[in-house]
Amino acid sequence: MKIITVGLDERSYNIHIGCGLLDGLGADCNRIGLKGTAAVITNPVVGALYLPLVKDSLERAGYDVRVIELPDGEEFKNAATLDLIYDAMITEGLDRGAFIVALGGGVIGDMAGFAAATFLRGIPFVQVPTTLLAQVDSSVGGKTGINHRLGKNLIGAFYQPKLVLADLDTLDTLAEREYLCGIAEILKYGACLDRSLFDYISEKSGDLKARDKVALEHIVGESCTIKGSVVERDEHEGGLRAVLNYGHTIGHAVETLAGYGKIKHGEAVAIGMAQIAGLSFLKGLLTSDDRNLIVKLIREFGLPTELPVFPIDAYLEIISHDKKKRDGGVNFIFNHGIGGFKIEKIIDLRTLLSDCVNQL
């Protein structure tokens, strides 16, 4: 098992990564001093697979366990579903002595984390991420929240968990498309922050496609270390943390234009990364060989790289409203070599998008 610490003074916590960890969840919660009732928040898909193990582990460690089951899907990541959590917590008589366990992917983790941040002005919570994407990204760093009808993740809070327990065995049951979306987020860390991780993914692509646990423990561990160190330096996204949005500005536009769910988040990010690699080449920040390496590695995992055909004005409309917009421009994260990045504010979005359309 790997243990990685995210150092944020009194809000520091450990990330446990390995196989067979769910069985020890209760004991781990004891070790970090969590007391009282454990409210496990999950959905029917994940609950059917892993709730018995989680419940048993918590009960063996002496916790009174309550289960709150939410409907599965991004379309339920909203205020109405959040209200279901509050309703259950209040009617079950839970108080500040309770803590939340988020058992599921990023949707459950973001919602359960936001409920923990806001219920009675904040109770502790533990992340038990069960998708690859959640293990390498959403469970780490304390971004919690829900969608609003006018946009994704617009309501939320920075609220760190007390523990993240990433059991790699849970990835065995994950659908292939979801698994590959997680790989896209790992490629993100390699492409703009860590050349050695990029090379490792390249060398071990066969093992990773086969979900080999040794390779997975390595890349999940490296991803969490990289994300943790970015969060330690810029918890509230004053600057540096924006690098984690590499590929996401174009990706988000693709996701929105295609209609949520048609192209999954990780697939859209893969397209965004390939486009940014091409733009970085045009800017002289990446050699053509390195651009080709990035695009080839994305394709190696069967992830898409081509920008879907929508009117350029539709792309412009979405990108110009992006959350990352500052002072009339939108901040883009470009490659500076593989494993390096450069943040640049782009004012002339039309030219940038035309360059995307004309490349590859």
Contact present, 202 and 191 (Cβ < 8 Å): no
User: Which of 130, 225, 249, 335 contacts ligand NAD by CB under 6 A?
Assistant: 130
Is 255 near ligand GLY (CB under 6 A)?
no
Is 241 near ligand GLY (CB under 6 A)?
yes
Contact present, 133 and 106 (Cβ < 8 Å): yes
| Nearest distance in Å: CB 147, ligand NAD | 7
User: Which of 28, 110, 137, 255 contacts ligand GLY by CB under 6 A?
Assistant: 137
Contacts of 259 (CB under 8 A, 6+ apart): none
Q: Which lies closer to ligand NAD via its Cβ, residue 185 or residue 290?
A: 185
Residue 199 binding target from ligand NAD, ligand GLY, none, CB below 5 to 8 Å by type: none
33: Cα within 13 Å, side-chain hemisphere:
3
Stretch that binds ligand NAD, among 169-177, 191-199, 229-237, 275-283 (CB under 6 A): 169-177
Tell me the C-alpha to C-alpha distance, in Å, between residue 297 and each of 188, 191, 342.
11, 10, 21
Is 106 near ligand NAD (CB under 6 A)?
yes
Cβ-based neighbour number of residue 62 at 10 Å: 12
Is 316 near ligand NAD (CB under 6 A)?
no
Distance between CA 63 and CA 52 in Å, rounded? Answer: 14
Distance between CA 300 and CA 317 in Å, rounded? Answer: 32
Is 131 near ligand NAD (CB under 6 A)?
yes
Catalytic site residue from 77, 188, 218, 227: 227
Q: Which lies closer to ligand GLY via its Cβ, residue 24 or residue 142?
A: 142
DSSP 308: P
- The edge-to-edge listing of strands for the beta sheet with 13-18 is 2-6, 13-18, 163-167, 125-129, 99-104, 37-42, 64-69
Is 103 near ligand NAD (CB under 6 A)?
no
Footprint of ligand GLY (CB under 6 A): 137, 141, 143, 241, 244
Footprint of ligand NAD (CB under 6 A): 43, 45-46, 49, 72, 74, 77, 104-108, 110, 130-131, 133-134, 137-138, 141, 143, 153, 170, 173-174, 178, 181, 265
